[in-house]
Each structure stands twice: as structure tokens, then as C-alpha cells.
Structure 1
Amino acid sequence: MGVKSKAAAAILVLLLFLGSLWLHGGLDYHWDSCFKGYNEVNQIPQLSNRSEADGAMGTRVLEECPGQNFQTSVLLHHLLAAADFTSDVLLQPYLSSWDELVKFMEALGPMVGLISKEIKSKTTIIRELAMMAEKSPEAELSPKHPADSVSRDTGNKLQASQNVTAYHSVRSMIWFEQDQGRVDFNQQTDSGCRTLLRLHRALLWLKLFLQKLAETPESGRLGSPSELCREAYQNTLAYHHTWFVRRAAELAFIAMPERGFFYRLVCVQNQEELNVVLTSVVHAIGEIYDRTQGALEENGMLDLP
């Protein structure tokens, strides 16, 4: 084997290892029966766009992009559905949002796509926990149960349903797993709460990356996606990773496509249009992130091992 072949093989092995460690000890889709509060309708979200000619706020439909797996309209639809509860996050559309974000990462090439495998494993853990809980009578939360308190101002919506499953939302999952003693604050477990925390950290990384990708600096110089993704990583996930994983991540970001690829991926023609689309996505992600952050913080779960 030549020197170049050995180097390529070494990089591949390194990135495979990165995928297994990406979310600090770990970073499928047909899950319709576990949740009763989310009726998925294929509505196309609309985005606000300011016209430069008259300054009026217009609205344009975010259309499906033909010929590709990742769809921005689908991602935005799931994100908005996940925030249906005030101050809470519905788990099914939340995980469906991750399904679409995985497609986004896989579209960026095999190097970056390796990271998505670990994210898939995390969404699968929560889905499997929900399916097992659905079969258990103890996982059914009565509307008069103290579980109402975990949703705070969502209590009225919880009471509108006779029974709410334990993995219906972020707060109901946290309450259920705490009540059942499934959350361990001293060692790693496959609890839904610990798994959610890893996904939560990765969501901040993607939010910051998309935000940077949407911006047009005052200097007019647009940073390369590789640079922007590296900066987003250094300000988020890097804090939770070892030196070795951080170095391996740098290799993955080198393979990031150029900006023109993202225009095609999101179905826009230029940076201005990219800003409109991604700003809406970033805002929706931010709402989900803030609600999840609040729920985890209230229950002392931001540093679960």
C-alpha cells in the first residue's frame, strides 16, 4: 500500500472513530403510534421577506426542492410543530426535525455524513424508550397527575387529553424518567434525558453554523462554510470533546462543500435569498433549543455524564 493510500485509510479510520465519539459518548423513522398530540400535515411554511424596492414585508412560499433528499420546508415544518406546546417541546416532531437535519449533513459528503450516524443512534434510543413505555401502564400520565407541573403553562393542553404518554414531550419525559429513577447523575446511562442532552448540544452547533452561513459580514467577505462550521464547533461542541476528537473534527470540516453547494441544497440563487431561508430555520431551531435548555436546566441535567 502506497503512502497516499495509507494516509487515506488512516483518515477514514479516524473519522469513523469520530462518529462513535461525536456527542461525548455517543451523539428509522416510523414512529406514529407513540404520540397522540402531533398530527403531521404537509403544510408548506411561509417565510417573511423584505422587498428592497418598497420596504414592505412580503411573503413567499418555501417550496419543495426537487431531486434531493433534504428539504428545508420539511425541516421547518417539523420544527414549528415541535414548538406547538407553549414552553415545551413535542418529542415526535423534534426527532423528525433531526431526521431532516441528518439528511442535511449526509448531503455534505461522506466525511461530514459520518457524524450523522451517531445522531441517528441517539434518536433511535429515545424512540425505542418511547415504544417500550407505551406498552407499560406506568408510563401513562393522568391529566390530574403532578406531571402537569412539568409542563407549567402547558397544563391546559395536557388536561385536554385524557392520557398523555411519558415521552409525549421533553418535560413529560424528564418527569417520568426522574420518577422512575432512570436518570443517573453519576454515571453514563441510556436514559432519554442523557440522550436528549447530547442531541441538544449538537443542535446548538448546527444552529450557530446555519446562522453564520446566513450572515453577510459588513466587510462583504463571505467566510467559507468550512471556516464557519469550524468556528461554530469551537464555540459549542468542542467544549465537551477530548483533544483527539477535536482534531478529528477538524478533518471532517475540511471536506465541507463550498457556498454554492448550499445555495443549491436550500434552493436559492444568492446570499440574500439564503439569508431569508436560513434565518427562519435558525429562529425555529432557537425556539426549540431555548425551551429544551430551560427544561434541562430546571432539573439540573445540563451536565449529565
Structure 2
Amino acid sequence: MESLGPMVGFFSLKVKEKVVLIRELWLPQEAHGRLGLRTPARFGLKAMVEAELKAGVVNFSWRSASGCRTLLRLHRSLLWLQLLLEGLAGGPDAQGQYRTPGELGRAAYMVALAPHHPWVLRQAAEFVFLALPDRRHFLELVCVRSQREATPILRSIIDALALVHAQTQQILAEHDMLELP
């Protein structure tokens, strides 16, 4: 994502910050046996969710610093990336034209992230979509020269993202965490 320019790099930085936050919130507690976890083998998303719920760390009424809340934000971002890549892997429209990465990014954003963002952030996101490089740049990022070469590579990435997204979706849904504040 950082290779897509400074505007997209900003969002990449936000993702990194969320990963660091999960590590800070979760790993130190797990390492010290807090929240009832004693072995690294029990570490995982489901274990984190269950431990935070048991400890009362997750708040369903207001924003709280929890790994679960941060995980939900990353989960939504993962869906955005998956939808963007699906668009890039897709074929041309009836007129033979491919949608631009900016158009694809905007469409993915409207599905995955916009419903959870305030108006100001949605407006700021529009600048990011305008700044996205052309399709050729995206193809170079996956080390191909043509759309035909890119599609199978993108499909394998999309499949991996979809698997992670589905598993995380199931864990969050089981605990009614898909709409945490």
C-alpha cells in the first residue's frame, strides 16, 4: 500500500498503528498470564475475543481501547482491500473499458468503510481515490505486464484475504461484535 503514494501510505500507516495497538493491548497481557491465558498455544483471535469479553475489556456502548475493537477496524479494512483487488482482477465493461483503481477503491470504500466513518472522513477519502495511480502501476506491483497475467495472481491473493475475512467475521459475529463503537 505504501508504494501507491503518500495519500494511500497514510492509510497504510493507520493499519500499522492498529496492528501495533493490538500487540500492545494483547501480547503483554498474554505473556504475563493475565486474562486467564497461560500458554502461547492459546493465542489467537478467538482466544483474544473470549479473554477480553471475560475480563470486561470490551464495551458495547462506547469506544474503549480493546483488541476486539481494533480487530474490527482491521477487519473492515481487509474487506476494502479484498473488494479493491476483486475489481482489479475483473474484466472490462461492455465497452471494453476497465474501471480505474480510483473508481474501484471508491466503490470498495462505500461498501466496507464508509458506513462506519463520519462525513468528514468520507470526504477526505475522496482525495485518496483521486490520487490512486493508474491500473498499470497496480499490475507492476504484482510483477506482471498485463491484466491477463495479473488475474490469477490477484485471485490467489483475494482467496487468502477472503478466508481470513470469513474466519474473522465468524468470530466477531458469534460475539455480536460487528458493530462495536
Tell me if TM exceeds 0.5. Answer: yes
The unaligned stretches of length 5 or more in structure 1 are: 1-104, 143-162
Correspondences of 1:263-302 after superposition (within 5 Å):
263-302=139-178
Point out the structure with the larger helix share. 2
Q: 2:30 is aligned with what amino acid?
A: E
Q: Does 1:227 align with 2:103?
A: yes
Following superposition, the deviation at residue 182 of structure 1 comes to 0.7
- Counting only pairs closer than 5 Å after superposition, residues 1-305 of structure 1 correspond to structure 2 as 105-139=1-35, 141=37, 163-164=39-40, 168-219=43-94, 220-305=96-181
- The DSSP-based 3-state class of the residue aligned with 1:235 is helix
Contact 1:141 1:165 in 2 (8 A): no
Deviation at 1:112, TM superposition (A): 1.4
Percent identity reads 44
Q: Which runs of 5+ in 2 are unaligned?
A: none
Deviation at 1:139, TM superposition (A): 4.2
Q: Using the alignment, how far apart are the partners of 1:288 and 1:111 within structure 2?
A: 26
Give distance in 1, aligned partners of 2:110 and 2:16.
22
Q: Which has the higher contact order (CA 8 A, sep 6+)?
A: 2
CA distance in 2, matches of 1:218, 1:187: 44
Q: 4+ residue stretches of structure 1 with deviation over 6 A?
A: none
Which residue identity does 1:136 align to in structure 2?
Answer: H
Which of the two has higher C-alpha Rg? 1
> Which of the two has greater strand per residue?
1
Which amino acid is the alignment partner of residue 167 of structure 2?
Answer: R
Query: Which moves more between the two structures, 201-210 or 113-122?
Result: 113-122
TM-score, L = length of structure 2: 0.93
Compare 225-234 and 129-138 and name the one that shifted more.
129-138
Q: Deviation at 1:134?
A: 3.2
Once the two structures are TM-superposed, the CA of residue 291 in structure 1 deviates from its matched residue by 0.7
* Alpha-carbon shift at residue 223 of structure 1 (Å): 0.9
